[in-house]
Every structure is written in structure tokens, then in C-alpha cells.
Amino acid sequence: MNKNSIYTTIITILLIVIIIILCVFSCNFERLNRFSEKQIDELKKSILASDSLTKEAEGHYTKLVNYYADKNDLSDELKKIDRDLHNMIKSQDERLLSITKTIISLRDKLDEGTGVVNEVDTNLIDITLSYPDKEKPFIIWDGFVNRLTAKYKGFWKFNKLPIDIIVTEESRGLWRHRIVGPDWFIVDSLSVISLPPKEYVPDIEKRIQLFVGGGYLADLTGSSWGALSLGLGVSFDHSHNILLNVTTNPQIGLSYYYKFRSFKRKKKR
């Protein structure tokens, strides 16, 4: 056996072993990765199931977002809330991402004071009431009470109610929904359901990616059994691809490929 035959045999065996190792490693890695993701999802679902509305401070309330709903869950929930709105969103081909339901109330307050006798008609007592206070009132009632007939008449005025809604992501990967308002603002219940993060936020892929693989090159002339190849490549911006190949011939090659465009089938919502 000459040196070239020995060299070819050794390279062939090494390439076969490397390809087998890569295949086994890839399969095991994917299996472990899926198992790990499943365990993490189960833990997150457990945390969400035990989560409840939390009052962080006066006027500050928070609850975790249940982002394990699918589009059918959101659609059914919206039908219960407002079927006309559901039909309008569907007709306009809008994608429903999340639904927030909350019940709010205002803090109780005991007021007392003295009215003012009307200068024009002394039978009338002028009264002005403010909630929660006179400095920054949200609700104002301005009117009078007739002390002879006990009848009253007045005008209700509602000022603006400032409410902030803030969504954050914890280190655990869970989303937290916060409602922030004045200290007399009370959130009695809060529920937020959403599509999963992978559907809600598009994945941002890296500009540079590495890939490795192997294959078999057939000899169309039939003069030899062919050759095995091992390739290592790099991709730039998902369009420019450079591939280095080593075969058992023995030969080495360098290739360049350019991806013009991707063809994607549009999914119905």
C-alpha cells in the first residue's frame, strides 16, 4: 500500500468519526436543549399560577403577565369582553397580542364642613365638595341645598386621572405588568394574558454565524468510489456565505455563496 492510499484511508476514517461525533453531539444537544426549555416553562407556569395582585405602594399595583396564551385563547377572551370589538379587529386583519383586564375603585373618604348662605336667596346653602382634596381635586361637586324643601342641585366635574402602565421583564424571563396612579387609586383585580414572547417579540439573529457539516462526493465517471468531505463555514448578514471544504481525495476547496432572497409562505392569522 503506497503512502497516498494510507493517507487517504486515515483521512477517511477521521472524517467519518468526526461526522458521526458531530451528528451525535448535535442530536444530544438539541434533546437536552428541548428538555431544559420544557423544565423552565413548567417552572414559569408554576410561578404564574401562584402569582397574585401585589400592592407595592399607595397607587402602585403589579402582577405577572401570563404569556402562555395562544391566539385562540385571546380571541375567545375578547369575544366575552366585547364581541363587536372582536369582529372589528378581525375584519381589519389586526393581530391580537395581549388583553389586560382590571377593576379599579377609589379610596373612601369622610368629609365634613359648613356651607355658605347664598347672598341672593338665604334659603339656599351653597356647598362645594372636592375629592380627594381641594389642592388637586379629581371630582368636584358645586351646588346648593334648599333648607326649606331639602332639595339640592349641583354640577359634577371630573378632572383628568393620570394612570401609567409599565411592562418590564424580570431576570427569570417573566414579564411584569404595573399600574401606577395616585395614592387614592385602588386596583381591585388585574389580569394580563398575552402571546408567548417568541411570537410577541421577533428574535434578533446575530449578523455573523458559524456552521459545520460534511457529505459525500460521488464520482460520476465510475473510476473511483468517490470521496467524503468536511466543511466549515461562516455566514455574514444571512446573505454572504464562505465555505472551506476538505475531502478524502485529498483536496481542499474554498467556496462563496450569496443568498438572494427568502421565500416565505404567509400564514393566516
Instruction: Look at residue 142 in the predicted model and tell me its pLDDT.
Output: 95
C-alpha span between 149 and 122 (Å, rounded): 13
User: Would you place residue 5 in the very low, low, confident or very high pLDDT band (cuts 50, 70, 90)?
Assistant: low
Region of residue 222 (left: phi > 0; alpha: psi -120 to 50; beta: else)? left
pLDDT single digits (tens) 187-209 = 999 999 999 888 866 655 667 78
The chain-wide mean pLDDT, for the chain, equals: 84
Instruction: Say whether pLDDT at 212 is over 90.
Output: no
Average pLDDT on 178-188 reads 92
Q: By percentage, how much of the chain surpasses pLDDT 90?
A: 41
Residue 227: name the closest of 237, 239, 214 by CA: 214
Q: Locate cell 468510489: which residue?
A: 225
Instruction: Look at residue 87 in the predicted model and tell me its pLDDT.
Output: 93
CA distances 15 to 61, 94, 244, 252, Å, are 60, 52, 14, 13
Instruction: Look at residue 268 in the predicted model and tell me its pLDDT.
Output: 47
pLDDT single digits (tens) 6-27 = 666 676 677 677 767 766 776 7
Cell digits of residue 4: 497516498
More confident call, 234 vs 165: 165
User: Would you place residue 269 in the very low, low, confident or very high pLDDT band (cuts 50, 70, 90)?
Assistant: very low
More confident call, 104 vs 4: 104
Q: Locate cell 417579540: which residue?
A: 201
Residue 166: name the closest of 146, 205, 141, 192 by CA: 192
* Residue 9, H or E segment: helix 3-50
CA 253 to chain centre: 44
C-alpha span between 176 and 242 (Å, rounded): 43
Instruction: Look at residue 28 in the predicted model and tell me its pLDDT.
Output: 80
- In this structure, what DSSP letter does residue 99 have? E
Q: Check: CB of residue 234 under 8 Å from CB of residue 222.
A: no
CA distances 34 to 29, 70, 104, 173, Å, are 9, 20, 41, 17
C-alpha span between 212 and 14 (Å, rounded): 15
C-alpha span between 188 and 231 (Å, rounded): 61
Tell me the pTM.
Answer: 0.64
State phi, psi for 119 to the nearest 5 degrees.
Answer: -70, -30
**Which of these ranges, 15-29, 36-50, 113-127, 134-148, has the smallest mean pLDDT?**
15-29
More confident call, 221 vs 146: 146
Domain range annotation of the chain: 3-37+205-258, 53-200
Read off the amino acid at residue 139: I
Instruction: Say whether pLDDT at 161 is over 50.
Output: yes
Q: Check: CB of residue 98 under 8 Å from CB of residue 197.
A: no
Instruction: Look at residue 11 in the predicted model and tell me its pLDDT.
Output: 67
Q: Check: CB of residue 76 under 8 Å from CB of residue 63.
A: no
| Helix extents (H) in 111-220 | 197-200
**Which of these ranges, 52-66, 117-131, 150-164, 218-232, has the smallest mean pLDDT?**
218-232
